[in-house]
């Protein structure tokens, strides 16, 4: 079995792409939290009423992201 330079480069590219993909969920959650903070905090002034629900939503998304990352690591 011979490993060429092309296959090594392909594996490195795939590994880099995988590392980039696992951060998508973090960035999406960050954007959602920024938008919700801007909407409820600045425009409506009702942040206190919705703070707990929005924070729990963000925490649940982050927990699901961690669980998915662990699942994908165990799958390999």
Residue 32: how many CA atoms within 13 Å on its side-chain side?
A: 15
Over the chain (76 residues), what is each successive 10-residue block's mean pLDDT?
A: 54 59 74 77 65 80 85 82
Supply the pLDDT for residue 66.
85
Rounded Cα distance, 38 and 29, in Å: 14
Supply the pLDDT for residue 2.
52
Supply the pLDDT for residue 67.
87
End-to-end CA distance of the chain: give it in Å, rounded.
22
Supply the pLDDT for residue 19.
60
């Amino acid at each position: 079995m011979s490993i060429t330079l092309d296959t090594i480069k392909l594996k490195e590219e795939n590994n880099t792409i995988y590392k980039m993909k696992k951060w998508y969920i973090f960035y999406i959650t960050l954007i959602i939290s920024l938008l919700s903070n801007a909407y409820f905090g600045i425009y409506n002034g009702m942040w206190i009423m919705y703070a707990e629900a929005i924070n729990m939503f963000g925490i649940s998304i982050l927990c699901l992201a961690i669980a998915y990352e662990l699942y994908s690591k165990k799958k390999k």
